[in-house]
Amino acid sequence: MALDVPTLNSLGFAKPPAETRVVVAMSGGVDSSVVAAQLAEEGYDVVGVTLQLYDHGAALAKKGACCAGLDIHDARRVAEDMGFPHYVLDYENIFKDAVIDEFADSYLAGATPVPCIRCNERVKFKDLLETAKDLEADCMATGHYIQRKMGEHGPELHSAEDANRDQSYFLFSTTPEQLDYLRFPLGHLPSKDATRELAARYGLQVADKPDSQDICFVPNGNYAQVIEKLRPGAAEPGEIVHADGRVLGTHNGVIHYTIGQRRGLGIGGLDEPLYVVRLDVDAKQVIVGPKDLLSTRTIPVREINWLGDTPFDSRPEWHVSVKVRSTRPPREAIIRPLSATEAEVELLTPEEGVSPGQACVFYQTDGSRILGGGWIWRG
């Protein structure tokens, strides 16, 4: 006698959509709006949640930043049009403690932080995910461009179908437990155009809304200005020093420079092009030198989140590909675990401008699977 195998719905549950509650994290942008509208149309019990992350007064009029007052209005309107409940949660204090303060401190320490990763890790996929469980949701869906696929050992994280939209670099710290609960309905789409076509099909007024470009609390892209506001007196002047020890000029604050920077150094009349190769915050020095000093082969990585099928430190080395900047393609590397959460990464081809504070994300070399990642530090 044939056994009845329960049919799974599109979110992977063996029950009708109407009996499946899903919390959708809605930023007010086109991506999360399409996710919410699509799931509502499929008949799911959708609950929209938008996070108020910082003081909107400053950013309300700025285009290109997410989570501002206008975005809350846009998210609410989508929920009204599609007929599902929508809540706004005030996460300003949590966001400041978990994301903004660390951003300021690590920037002042000469690092180049990636606050969007910390926001996913410490706010969206932690506190918001707990809220979704409190609302008795079966899962939480987001508008991120990344794929969740079922593997032999459970859910796996994979790059988005569209390499140009892939957000895996910002989601490497998603834990296996979180991955079990999360869903990413847009990851399989071929392009952003496909998302906008869906938005038009659902009649969403955000269909043509521009993408957010900046970090939400740095709406004009001026990091130094934000740091000065958060940490008054941070922009103290100092010397611009050549790697060979020569003092070449002065600067008005280490926070105005990043590793690998060439333009705007304010030191003209030199024969060779110079780049920022190091920032010495304690000595208030910006160290510059020729391009070859930017090349790095060995990278110390810590706070590793491992998504492989066997324990990270169960073997002496892993042959993978890694990304050291969100805008760069993965490059082949060897990871040598030092513990369950620390490792030394050896790049087979040296990379330029590897900076403390950035993430180092691990990828399967001949596939789309993300194996985790960690944070680059000085060692």
DSSP H/E element including 181: helix 176-181
**43 annotated ligand binder:** no
Hey, what are 76's tokens?
Answer: 């609410």
216 is catalytic: yes
Among 66, 119, 139, 360, the one annotated catalytic: 119
**140 annotated ligand binder:** no
**Cβ-contact 331, 345 below 8 angstroms:** no
**Cβ-contact 71, 26 below 8 angstroms:** no
Q: How many CA atoms lie within 13 A of 101 on its CB side?
A: 8
**Cβ-contact 257, 250 below 8 angstroms:** no
Distance CA 33, CA 46 (A): 12
**22 annotated ligand binder:** no
Hey, what are 80's tokens?
Answer: 């009204």
**31 annotated ligand binder:** yes
Secondary structure percentages of the chain, helix, strand, coil, to 5: 30, 25, 45
**51 annotated ligand binder:** yes
Hey, what are 151's tokens?
Answer: 């593997």
**35 annotated ligand binder:** no
**39 annotated ligand binder:** no
Sign of the Cα pseudo-torsion (293, 297, 298, 304, in order) = positive
Distance CA 15, CA 20 (A): 7
139 is catalytic: no
**Cβ-contact 28, 204 below 8 angstroms:** no
**64 annotated ligand binder:** no
User: CA nearest 39: which of 125, 133, 136, 141?
Assistant: 141
Amino acid symbol at 267: I
**30 annotated ligand binder:** yes
For residue 207, the tally of other CB atoms under 10 A from its CB is: 17
**324 annotated ligand binder:** no
The answer for residues whose C-beta is within 8 angstroms of residue 305's C-beta and 6 or more apart is 172, 173, 174, 175, 372, 373, 374
Among 66, 139, 216, 360, the one annotated catalytic: 216
Residues contributing to the annotated binding site: 25-32, 51, 143
Residues contributing to the annotated binding site for ATP: 25-32, 51, 143
Residues labelled as active-site residues: 119, 216
